[in-house]
Amino acid sequence: MDIIADIFANMGEFFKNFFQVASFTWFIVLPIGFYKLFKILWMDHIQGKYASKISYLLLEIIPPQNIEKSPQPMESLFSGLSAAYKTPNLYEQYLDGFFVDSFSLEFVGRGGEGMHFYIRTPKYFRYLVEAHLYAQYPDVEIKEVPDYVADVPPVIPNKNWDIWGTDFELTDPDPMPIKTYRNFEEDVTGKMIDPLAGIIEIMGQLTPGQNLWLQYIINPISEGWVKEGRLYVQERAGRISKKKTLGEKIAEDMADIFKNIFSGLFSPPQFSPKEQKKEEQPLEFRLTPGERKALEAVEVNIGKNVFKVKMRMVYVGKKQGFDKPTFVSGLIGAIKQFSDLNFNGFKPEDLSKTYANYFLQQSRLRYRQRKIFSRYKDRDPEGKQFILSTEELATVFHIPDMNVISPFFQRVSAKRGSAPSNLPF
């Protein structure tokens, strides 16, 4: 009992001394401890204030009738949009809440109407978008339209409407490119097989009251990203070893301890023989043809302008006629065209999928459904993001050529031309 009493007496003395020290140092310790939390809350507040001042508009892109171009001209559009990047000074970043403007590239399928192409942009970048599109596609039609998300109820799911959605992520690290339009050429004729044909067809099959939306929210980022890409190439080539984090080093050491603890207790110590340095072959002989091709693709990819991308899809419609197996699986299958097991690809992100298992399934499912629906409507880039180059963006979002013959999306009915130069004034 005396020992226990001594312990409590010592604890009381410890806390007394602790609070005495804290009373003299709180104004130093607390600001340091709460700085990160304060910064998160302050930036969230000030950036929300900055975002409320930005006015956006939605532009519908109506393709021309006869177009014989690959997706490559779209690269000039995305290169032009990369000019929206600006490095803010400290005042702009922490007092104004400045952040780089985003654009949203959207494919929209509406039952009975077919498929539509949209670009959502800040108002002050409207002419930047139009100028680059008209420069590459003189006969394209661009018009401002109301936001289509207002055509469905503001709160979904409800008793009449249902929804399924997911964000996407890459299957491999960012520098590794997806399958781009350069890899969609037919071997015999050399013509490109447009990967958007599958997306157009699946969206065109929707019945009235059903909607299928695919969204890419893009933000231009600084050219400093190329350093990460070069580092990735060196790691893949074996020129440098991948740096391990502190957590990885600790986990590796702990695994080594538990692996050898019993042999160390019950047997004499053994020392590994001194390793002889092997003479390595040149890099070109150590890489397989597939590895060499992948590294070449990475090096080409990191030489282009890049964007941080948020990709998500939403299938929303009336419960009567809601066909998730057909349209969700169909769209994800069409997106799989951009995947290559030797390169990169897209896959649904499990944390964002609208499903729930085990406990409180119904309430958790409703929460996920409403969260992804709200984020889609607000074009919110929160969540998993990845990096795509202008070539990759041109592959996943471009104007289909004349070989894509489908009744499910509208083309310009007449050629746009300028007025004659000899008109009387």
Taking Cα atoms as reference points, which of 216, 223, 214, 219 lies closest to residue 81? 219
DSSP-derived pairing of the beta strands 141-145 and 103-110? unpaired
What phi and psi values does residue 185 have, to the nearest 5 degrees? -80, 140
DSSP 8-class letter at 312: E
Give CA 325 to chain center in angstroms. 24
Query: How far lies 388's CA from each of 73, 193, 223, 243, 319, in Å?
Result: 17, 21, 13, 24, 36
Instruction: State the pLDDT confidence band at 122, using cuts at 50, 70 and 90.
Output: very high
Instruction: HSE, CB side, 13 Å, CA atoms: give it for residue 171.
Output: 15
The H-assigned helical ranges of 173-274 are 196-204, 225-237, 246-266
| Per-residue pLDDT reduced to its tens digit, 338-379 | 988 888 899 999 888 888 888 888 888 899 999 999 999 999
The H-assigned helical ranges of 241-380 are 246-266, 283-286, 289-301, 324-335, 361-378
**CA 25, CA 221: separation in Å to the nearest integer?**
42
Provide the percentage of residues in the chain whose pLDDT is more than 90: 27
The confidence score (pLDDT) of residue 331 equals: 92
The confidence score (pLDDT) of residue 176 equals: 85
Q: Which amino acid is at 377?
A: K
Instruction: State the pLDDT confidence band at 425, using cuts at 50, 70 and 90.
Output: very low
> Any idea of the CA torsion for 362, 365, 371, 373, to the nearest 10 degrees?
-100
Instruction: State the pLDDT confidence band at 420, using cuts at 50, 70 and 90.
Output: very low
**CA 170, CA 232: separation in Å to the nearest integer?**
16
Contact yes or no for 387/221 (Cβ under 8 A): yes
